[in-house]
């Protein structure tokens, strides 16, 4: 099954992850995270399947995160409230996100990709 790969083409980390997927011949469908921001429901599924706290899905180093005072807004927010905020702007979402519908990786660490996406 092809991965869904949410990315932002100008993001250096996303480029590294895409290169890794190509070099390891992983079949994937690239989705521009800003032009096609995942829906609130999709984000909730990604959060659930990742096993990570919802706060890990925020691009905390991004300009919009800082300017929007998002840290304060999500301090006591539920997963649903955080997903609603994330769905408003793809630039708020930590990237890249790769998923096969069950497993989810957020960001790019080569060792995590090796463990999660390398086909044997």
pLDDT digits (tens, 9 = 90+) for 53-64: 999 999 999 999
Show the tokens assigned to 111.
């060792």
Q: Average pLDDT of the chain?
A: 96
Q: How confident is the model at residue 119 (pLDDT cuts 50, 70, 90)?
A: confident
Residue 120 has pLDDT above 60, yes or no: no
Q: Going from the N-terminus, what domains does the chain have, and what CATH number goes with each?
A: 3-117 (3.40.30.10)
* Three-class secondary structure of residue 28 per DSSP: strand
Residues 6+ apart with CB under 8 A from 102: 49
What distance in Å separates the CA atoms of residue 5 and residue 65, rounded to the nearest whole number? Answer: 22
What distance in Å separates the CA atoms of residue 37 and residue 34, rounded to the nearest whole number? Answer: 5
- pLDDT tens digits for range 37-95: 999 999 999 999 999 999 999 999 999 999 999 999 999 999 999 999 999 999 999 99
The C-alpha angle with vertex 45 and arms to 70 and 22, in degrees rounded to 5, equals 95
């Amino acid at each position: 099954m092809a991965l869904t790969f949410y990315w932002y083409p100008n993001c250096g980390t996303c480029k590294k992850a895409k290169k890794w997927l190509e070099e390891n011949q992983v079949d994937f469908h690239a989705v521009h995270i800003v032009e096609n921001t995942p829906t609130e429901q999709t984000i909730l599924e990604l959060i659930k399947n990742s096993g990570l706290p919802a706060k890990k899905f925020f691009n905390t180093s991004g300009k919009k995160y800082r300017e929007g005072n998002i840290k304060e807004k999500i301090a006591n927010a539920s997963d649903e409230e955080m997903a609603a905020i994330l769905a408003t702007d793809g630039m708020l979402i930590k990237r890249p996100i790769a998923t096969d519908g069950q497993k989810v990786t957020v960001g790019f660490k080569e060792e995590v990709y090796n463990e999660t996406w390398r086909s044997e």
